[in-house]
Chains A and B, each alone.
Chain A
Amino acid sequence: MNPFKFTHDVRKARIPDHSLCASLTWCAGINAFLFIFFSIIFPGTAMAERYIDIPSSELISVSLKAPAGPLRMGEVPIFTGTITNRSTKSLKGLVVYLSLVSLQPGHEHPVDLEDWSAQKAIRIASLTPGQESDHEWKMRLIKAGPFGAALTIVDPESNQPKISPLAIFSIAPKPTVISGRILPVIIGMPLFLAGLFLVLYRTRR
């Protein structure tokens, strides 16, 4: 028995003959024709028309309001975002997320919200025409300095995200751990105990 016979047969079976090639070419041609035909008749269903042409920025308005009054480190103020549907149709599955940037002159940089806010993004299931939706973002103020926050809205049916104007605010520093109070204790306590230890040691001897 030839052990390579089976392998040889399989290889042979995989080589397409001329009639198969001709059939495939016909199928591809018919498919291309149908695609062009239906694209002209029903433009909304074509693959190339996945996104709406009108930019989302004209359909949605978004704003973010920073809390009034001075802000200090350690506080957890609430920022209010308002999203309004200005179009004539319902918008579905909107994703709204918060961004924060440090505006320290000469050291401007985006801030990772990991420590600042537990909820960075929300999803709005549906927003009917003219409907306004208010959402609150709690932010724990970790660092002092000037900052700017903004909301970005992503509409799954548009390739144009909408960004709110920057809400600019300043955080005043707060000494969370006061070194002037800690230092006497962290130096004084071991010294006091060491003194007591020494007295005890000498008394026992």
Chain B
Amino acid sequence: MSVLATIAKKECREDVFTVRGMGLYLAAALVLSGFGLLLVGNTELSLLDNAQAVYMMAGIILALAGLIAVVRGSDGFAGERDRETLEAVLVTPVSGDGLAFGKLGAIIVSWVLLYLLAIPYIWAVGSSGQNLTSSLLYLFISGTALMIIFGSLMLSLSIKMKSFKGVMSAGLVLLLFAAVPVALGPSLRQSAVGRILDWLNPFAVSMNMLDAVIVDSQSAPGQQFLSLLVLSGYVVIAAWILWKSSRRIEL
């Protein structure tokens, strides 16, 4: 456990307290500010119910979280390989899975920082409406699950693929496919095929759960049991894929 914590700390120092890391959070803040500006300035958006505005903002935050997971996960091993620092990391007395899960821990810390950054925005948009506390709680749960899923998959790809650019491109395509539910309205996904595709996509599962909690006030754990169960299943599968991939890390 201490090995994991040490690696996570090292990764956090590199990812958060650097110019590049801060730039990512500044970009995220600018995106959220842009959406807030639209809410204030656009006549139609300003008529939105608070819960609807919070739901839209939650979708943007999850998309940003996915983007951070793709960037950090791609950089995890393929970036080290490109910078020719992977060899030095591999000679340390840490197992492959310890290294991989330490990096995953740093990705989760990045998510926590993004979440803390997003809280003032959600409060500003939704404090005069309903379901603010449950919105924040379920956003944290779904965001953490998505970070573990995307982070694990990206780290696994990063272990197997040699080029950082290749991993990054694959990750962005994956994120684009997964984030389609944010662009499409729920009404377009009401068919049987749409529902099946929704359950196969952890991003869509999260969005549907947030829709039910924030807009429809169904925040009791029993009401979201199935969504939470499916997300947990995806988390376990993604973690297992990372564990299998990290057993043999090549230069």
Contacts and interface: CB of A to CB of B under 8 A. Distances in A.
Interface stretch (B42-50, B70-78, B141-149, B217-225): B42-50
A182 to B, nearest CB: 5
A177 B19 contact: no
Interface stretch (B119-127, B154-162, B198-206, B241-249): B119-127
Interface in A177-191: 177-179, 181-187, 189-190
A183 B120 CA distance: 11
A181 B128 CA distance: 10
Contacts of B45: 177
B12 to A, nearest CB: 14
Nearest to B130: A74
Contact of A182 (B19, B25, B30, B40): B40
A201 interface: yes
Contacts of B32: 186, 189
B49 A74 contact: yes
B121 A179 contact: no
A182 B36 contact: yes
A190 B36 contact: no
Main secondary structure of the interface of A (DSSP, over half): helix
Interface in A27-84: 73-74
A194 interface: yes
B26 A194 contact: yes
B47 A181 contact: no
A2 B92 CA distance: 96
A177 B42 CA distance: 11
A25 interface: no
A143 interface: yes
A46 to B, nearest CB: 47
Contacts of B25: 193
B19 A189 contact: no
B33 A193 contact: no
B121 A204 contact: no
Interface string B18-52: 11001101100110110011011000011111100
Interface in B93-115: none
Contact of B22 (A186, A187, A193): A193
B33 A190 contact: yes
A13 B185 CA distance: 61
A196 interface: yes
A196 B26 CA distance: 10
A142 interface: yes
Contacts of A200: 17-19, 22
Contacts of B127: 181
A186 B123 CA distance: 12
Given A185-B120, A193-B29, 12 more contacts: A176-B49, A177-B39, A178-B128, A179-B46, A182-B36, A186-B36, A186-B124, A189-B121, A193-B25, A197-B19, A197-B26, A204-B19
10 contacts: A176-B49, A177-B125, A178-B128, A182-B124, A185-B33, A185-B124, A186-B121, A190-B29, A190-B30, A193-B25
> Considering the complex of A and B, which 8 residue pairs feature the smallest CB-CB distances, nearest first?
A186-B36, A186-B33, A185-B124, A179-B40, A182-B124, A197-B22, A193-B26, A190-B29
